[in-house]
């Protein structure tokens, strides 16, 4: 095989789980001249990303925080790949980084450039003997950062909880959620964007889309049935949302999933 790759996730310790969805690792090796194109789908989360392979070879690639995405990004994977990351739950990015979530939408910045930089580097992580040791270092660094923070915004947390149910066929509308929490839709949107990066409408649509992905990964292959089960008006509606969030039709995405770079960051670990 010209290229092999493995992706794995690990749950965080319970004390930081309200903020951290998971730790993750990507390890791969490709033959010279070969590469893979990996499509990362939006999930409402932000990620701290550390390039271990680059650090091992004396590179100066900084550790970055990648903000929430409004649509898919495609990355080229080549040569030796070894990356680890921390996935922040939706709503955690502003408090964790000191930067409003909307400012990090569809962008990335060096961890060193944050108002409160995280004291962790790819070089230090590369010195660890195994992934568990790296995850422990990352957990300790996150724990130090979170010690001075209040709990996640309860209003935003209430809305996210309403929109991340396994049954996406009955997600409440934004107007229903704002009625429940006693805010105007405009005031709620400003608060939600500041903490999450996405608008409430976009996040609710994304949650419904992620519901389709979860059912697909559980073995459901009937797109019309998936559309009906997850609250889409019909299969055409589902196809349009796939175009928005994945940049592909459902069948094209499913075909791409059969390749070596077809892993999906999600499962039952991340919030959405």
| pLDDT for residue 180 | 95
Secondary structure letter of residue 43 according to DSSP: -
Structural domain count of the chain: 2
Q: Which pLDDT does position 115 carry in this prediction?
A: 83
Structure token pair of residue 188: 């709620």
Task: Please tell me the distance from the alpha carbon of residue 107 to that of residue 69, in angstroms, as a whole number.
Answer: 8
Q: Are residues 81 and 170 in the same domain?
A: no
**CA angle centred on 68, ends 67 and 74, rounded to 5°:** 90
Inside any domain, residue 266: no
pLDDT band, residue 228 (cuts 50/70/90): very high
Q: What is the mean pLDDT of the chain?
A: 89
Domain boundary among 146, 169, 187: 146
Buried b / exposed e along 100-113 (16+ C-beta atoms within 10 A)? ebbebbeeebebee
Domain that residue 193 falls in = 154-256
Which of these three, 119, 146, 173, is where a domain ends? 146
What secondary structure does DSSP assign to 78-128, as a single string?
ESEEEEEEEEEPTT-HHHHHSS-GGGGTT-EEEGGGSSS--S--HHHHHTS
- Give the model's confidence band at 267: pLDDT under 50 very low, under 70 low, under 90 confident, else very high: very low
Asked whether residue 213 falls in the same domain as residue 238, the answer is yes
pLDDT digits (tens, 9 = 90+) for 139-185: 999 999 998 887 889 999 999 999 987 677 889 999 999 999 999 99
> Are residue 137 and residue 162 in the same domain, yes or no?
no
Q: What's the whole-model pTM score?
A: 0.91
Residue 179, phi-psi category: left (phi > 0), alpha (psi -120 to 50), beta (remainder): alpha
Same domain, yes or no: 33 and 136: yes
pLDDT at 23: 94
Residue linked to tokens 């592909």: 248
Is 224 a member of any domain? yes
Q: Give the number of other Cβ atoms within 10 Å of residue 35's Cβ.
A: 14
Identify whether residues 97 and 167 lie together within a single domain. no
Instruction: State whether 72 and 135 are in the same domain.
Output: yes
Residue 141 and residue 83 share a domain? yes
Average pLDDT rounded to a whole number, residues 217-226: 92
226 within domain boundaries: yes
Is residue 142 located within the same domain as residue 7? yes
CB-CB neighbours of 88 under 10 Å: 27
The tokens describing 77, both together, are 């994977």
Neighbours of 1 (CB within 10 A): 8
pLDDT at 151: 80
Tell me, yes or no, whether 18 and 118 share the same domain.
yes
Q: Return the higher-pLDDT residue of 1 and 6.
A: 6
Which of 61-65, 130-134, 232-236 is modeled with the greatest confidence? 232-236
Same domain, 169 and 216: yes
Q: Which of 146, 164, 179 is the last residue of a domain?
A: 146
Residue 269, in any domain of the structure = no
Distance CA 212, CA 181 (A): 28
Query: CA-to-CA distance for 119 and 56, rounded, in angstroms?
Result: 19
Please give the pLDDT value at position 166. 65
Residues 7 and 133 placed together within one structural domain of the fold: yes
């Amino acid at each position: 095989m010209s290229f092999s790759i493995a992706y794995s996730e690990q749950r965080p310790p319970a004390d930081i789980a309200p903020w951290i969805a998971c730790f993750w690792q990507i390890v791969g090796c490709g033959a010279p001249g070969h590469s893979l194109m990996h499509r990362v789908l939006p999930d409402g989360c932000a990620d701290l990303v550390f390039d271990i392979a680059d650090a091992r070879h004396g590179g100066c690639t900084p550790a970055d925080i990648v903000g929430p995405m409004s649509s898919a990004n495609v990355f080229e994977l080549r040569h030796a790949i070894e990356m680890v990351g921390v996935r922040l739950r939706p709503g955690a990015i502003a408090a964790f980084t000191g930067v409003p979530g909307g400012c990090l939408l569809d962008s990335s910045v060096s961890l060193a450039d944050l108002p409160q930089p995280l004291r962790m580097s790819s070089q230090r992580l590369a010195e660890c003997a195994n992934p568990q040791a790296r995850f422990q270092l990352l957990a300790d660094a996150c724990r130090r950062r979170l010690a001075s923070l209040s709990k996640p915004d309860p209003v935003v947390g209430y809305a996210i909880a309403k929109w991340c149910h396994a049954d996406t066929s009955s997600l409440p509308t934004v107007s229903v959620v704002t009625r429940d929490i006693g805010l105007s839709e405009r005031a709620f949107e400003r608060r939600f964007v500041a903490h999450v990066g996405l608008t409430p409408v976009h996040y609710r649509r994304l949650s419904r889309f992620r519901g389709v992905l979860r059912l697909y990964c559980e073995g459901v292959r009937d797109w019309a049935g998936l559309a009906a089960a997850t609250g889409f008006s019909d299969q055409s509606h589902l196809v349009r949302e796939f175009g928005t969030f994945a940049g592909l039709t459902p069948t094209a995405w499913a075909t791409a999933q059969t390749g070596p770079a077809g892993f999906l960051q999600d499962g039952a670990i991340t919030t959405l």
